[in-house]
Structure 1
């Protein structure tokens, strides 16, 4: 790529990064979007709860978005992986895996998170298809179906209450000894929630669509959907290396303007919020782009 200097480098070219790129492209900014092509929802067959795109494949949404952003000729794309970023006075140097170095005044991380899939046979194959994380994104499609939740303790109690809005045919799998207190246990049982404490061995499924949960005692429970919230980590280690603070949920801490604690560094989308949805990723990215443009203007007017 011939051009090396930009006003803004966006690391992560999915929904949030592309939304920021559009805001900045429409602001006539020289922008580079670096993306490695591995969005965390790449296995999900359909995206929901995003008006005008409800039910579309995630890849279709992102492809359409990239085509529209590409209309703005000051926005450039680099297919590859950013591996390092260094702040030098009021500039950032971003290095890619192939050794190329790009320079910018501002950096936006829209890099998402990486789910740490549990060692349950079949979980990875079902993740995003019939093993779900968000009822607002996917609950309608499995409403009133036989459903399980994998969680324990306070989280398991609250998660079961939430999912019971979409189905009453519900069971809570604590995957080991229950950490619910007596009152929580009675409350769930009074609402028809079955509690299974045995450890899970595997999921029986067909092309990612779960059929049975198999416990280590060989008991099988038929289900059509499972909700789970596996732990995660930042998909990209660069923000931490730059000094960006993470919160107790391992998300990048940002203020109301999508700014991190490092001057000139912004973040948006799934890497900043537990509300993982395309709509919110788009919203925070679009807003971050506008804020970055305003900050660039203010800096130019103080020279």
Structure 2
């Protein structure tokens, strides 16, 4: 079994983890990235709103990123799933599902989140393709299209306000009684946004491209794009194991330096931010890597 010692271990090797690793590699820190190879955007056909990479596939971006990061001689990559973390006097011990153990002084958690997609026919097959979550990431490609939004309450109004800027044909599907204040109802009505309270039976699609939504009352309404606002949970149990605090929404609590409430533990990417984008993941990863290096410098200088 491996018992290797590193200065920093990064759990999660997607955009934020790789960005943190680059900052650490350029600071000549002995760094290990542990990644399970299951990114949350693996179904997404193209990534947008990221300078120099607009329109590339997520796989293209991550493969190029990994290649560039691993050119730094102090950075290593390990394919595997980290399932346990223990804090000790010398730092942290990480154990993978195969029983491999790795040790480090500092820990960066870049594990992302898992969307809790409703168990409705067609949802999982379309998620990230035409059933989308972010107007900034995907909205431009569906500008002017007939668009549905599966959401309720404040989140529905927020997404509707953004989507209305991209298309005039917007319908809210609340999957139950609509939960809007009088002021919100007035805004939705003024912007000609229809509200449907029926449950959804099926999202009809061809290879992930939505064609229509079948409602529980038998109506079959055609759409060309659908936004979905769904709950999420942390992709990894490790932050909870270590005792990290969480926000009310379920993100890992971190300060502007990406420090968690547990000394020596930093986070970056979707697991600790409401901004779910490649550019934000890269930015927070860069900050986490730099701040971990600064903490290591301070401890020995």
Query: Is the TM value for this pair above 0.5?
Result: yes
SS of 2:184 mapped into structure 1: helix
Q: Post-superposition, which runs of at least 4 consecutive aligned residues in structure 1 deviate over 6 A?
A: none
2: CA distance, partners of 1:220 / 1:2: 56
2: CA distance, partners of 1:8 / 1:183: 50
1: CA distance, partners of 2:196 / 2:182: 15
1: CA distance, partners of 2:2 / 2:174: 54
1: CA distance, partners of 2:154 / 2:106: 40
Equivalent position of 1:125 in the other structure: 125
Aligned-pair CA distance for 1:2 = 5.9
1: CA distance, partners of 2:154 / 2:8: 42
Gaps of 5+ in 2: none
TM-score (norm 1): 0.97
Give the CA RMSD over aligned residues.
Answer: 1.1
Residues 2 and 101, structure 2, Cα contact 8 Å, conserved in 1: no
Please identify, of 5-14 and 183-192, the stretch whose mean Cα deviation from structure 2 is larger: 183-192
After TM superposition, list the pairs within 5 Å mapping 1:253-264 onto structure 2: 253-264=253-264
Equivalent position of 1:107 in the other structure: 107
1: CA distance, partners of 2:223 / 2:185: 21
Equivalent position of 2:142 in the other structure: 142
SS of 1:221 mapped into structure 2: strand
SS of 2:213 mapped into structure 1: strand
Aligned-pair CA distance for 1:89 = 1.1
Check if 1:241 corresponds to 2:233: no
Aligned-pair CA distance for 1:189 = 2.1
TM-score (norm 2): 0.98
Check if 1:168 corresponds to 2:168: yes
Equivalent position of 1:47 in the other structure: 47
1:192-229 superposed Cα distances (whole Å, 9 cap, x missing partner): 11111111111010000000010011101110001111
Gaps of 5+ in 1: none
Equivalent position of 2:65 in the other structure: 65
SS of 1:102 mapped into structure 2: strand
SS of 1:7 mapped into structure 2: strand
Aligned-pair CA distance for 1:162 = 1.9
2: CA distance, partners of 1:170 / 1:189: 11
Equivalent position of 1:20 in the other structure: 20
1: CA distance, partners of 2:71 / 2:256: 29
Equivalent position of 2:285 in the other structure: 285
Residues 8 and 31, structure 2, Cα contact 8 Å, conserved in 1: yes
Equivalent position of 2:33 in the other structure: 33
Equivalent residues, number: 301
1:23-67 superposed Cα distances (whole Å, 9 cap, x missing partner): 100100100000000110010000000000000000000000000
Equivalent position of 2:116 in the other structure: 116
